[in-house]
Chain A
Amino acid sequence: MQSVQVIAITFSLSILIAIVDLIRRGRLKEQYSLLWLASSGVLLFLSIWRGLLDKMAQLVGVAYPPSLLFLIAFIFLLLIVLHFSVIISSLSEKNKKLAQEIGLLKALIEKKRFDAERSDD
């Protein structure tokens, strides 16, 4: 086994373990962990099964097969970041709605109180 393969296996295995641990301790929600799990799983799989990696590299014309791992990791990272951007957008939209709703509710309560005071007089 080449040292590059050992490094690749160690690296992807530790990421996978870290992610599983984060999920287990409830620090990472399942819905946000899917892409992470998939990416570390695929990287681990390809690091172990050298034959498949070599074939894939040949197929896409990459001269040095381990560098294909970088490409795959990069594509997964792009997907993860894009996923986050979508989530942030939806969160900020929800946050805006909540804040507006709070403002509207406070104003309505104030109005009710004001009307009640006026009818008391």
Chain B
Amino acid sequence: MNKILVIIPAYNEGANIEGVISAVRRDVPYADIVVINDGSTDATSCIAKGLSSSIIDLPYNMGIGAAMQTGYRYADMLGYDIAIQVDGDGQHPAHQIDRLIAPLFEGKTDVVIGSRFLGEGDYVPSLARSIGIRIFSLILSVITWQRVTDPTSGFRALSKEAITFLARNYPEDYPEVEAIVLLRKAGFRITEVPVRMEARLWGKSSITYPKALYYMVKVLLAVFVDLLKKVER
């Protein structure tokens, strides 16, 4: 029997978190849930506790990278076989999780990324975002020597070995793209599966327009630094 954990990072997601938790409970009843409350100032923590799910309250807002890493450390500590990361804003539909973890059960891969650009769903990003994703996609495809269509997707499932690796090495500010590079450098197999994502249930995405350019430059720089870094598995 595989132990499966759904990690939900949440920062001020009071309006969405209940829906996300109950959807995961309904659609993936065999999985445990842990919410990583990244120093929210709203009722996120109370709501999650009220639903009696496990919750990790970080003492201050540490950023998505540190929050996700906390989730992986939790999964590693308690010996989970599979971890799935699902955003706390409701854009990752829980009913697609089965699909996401299927390749892991077959043992064909270590990391599965849910991609919005493999024919499923009708997600059309804004022009700026589309250009950004394309650039990342191109660069990552070259670096990893395989096709990566949705490098910024945070809808992912990982094997036990990949969990242990990410518990030790996880990038900080905008970690999705960098994590792919690190995982690949450490020799993990990465697979994309088509998924359909929803628009956020409520509130704004953490990446706003003025930050987009800064995000691009920073992540690109970080990716090249990652290429120089020593990675130990």
Query: Which residues 100-142 in B have Cβ within 8 Å of A in the complex?
Result: none
Contact across chains for A103 and B54 when beta carbons are under 8 A apart: no
In the assembled complex, B55 has its CB within 8 A of some CB on chain A: yes
Interface of A is mostly: helix
Given contacts A106-B56, A107-B74, A111-B54, contact A100 B34 (CB under 8 A): no
Q: How many residues of A contact B (CB 8 A)?
A: 11
User: How far, in Å, is A65 (CB) from chain B's closest CB?
Assistant: 41
In the assembled complex, B62 has its CB within 8 A of some CB on chain A: yes
Chain B, residues 7-38, CB within 8 Å of chain A (1/0): the string is: 00000000000000000000000000010100
Chain A, residues 98-113, CB within 8 Å of chain B (1/0): the string is: 0110111011001100
Chain B, residues 41-65, CB within 8 Å of chain A (1/0): the string is: 0000000000010111111101000
Given contacts A104-B73, A104-B74, A107-B54, contact A99 B34 (CB under 8 A): no
Interface of B is mostly: mixed
Residues in chain B near residue A103, CB distance under 8 A: 36, 56-59, 70
In the assembled complex, A83 has its CB within 8 A of some CB on chain B: no
User: How far, in Å, is A2 (CB) from chain B's closest CB?
Assistant: 48
In the assembled complex, B77 has its CB within 8 A of some CB on chain A: yes
Q: How far is the CA of A104 from the CA of B34 in the complex (A)?
A: 11
Q: How far is the CA of A102 from the CA of B58 in the complex (A)?
A: 7
Q: How far is the CA of A103 from the CA of B58 in the complex (A)?
A: 5
Which one, B52, B55, B59, B77, contacts A99 given CB within 8 A? B59
Q: How far is the CA of A103 from the CA of B57 in the complex (A)?
A: 5
Contact across chains for B58 and A99 when beta carbons are under 8 A apart: yes
Q: How far is the CA of A97 from the CA of B77 in the complex (A)?
A: 14
Contact across chains for B66 and A100 when beta carbons are under 8 A apart: yes
User: How far, in Å, is B189 (CB) from chain A's closest CB?
Assistant: 27
Q: How far is the CA of A71 from the CA of B69 in the complex (A)?
A: 44
User: How far, in Å, is B185 (CB) from chain A's closest CB?
Assistant: 20
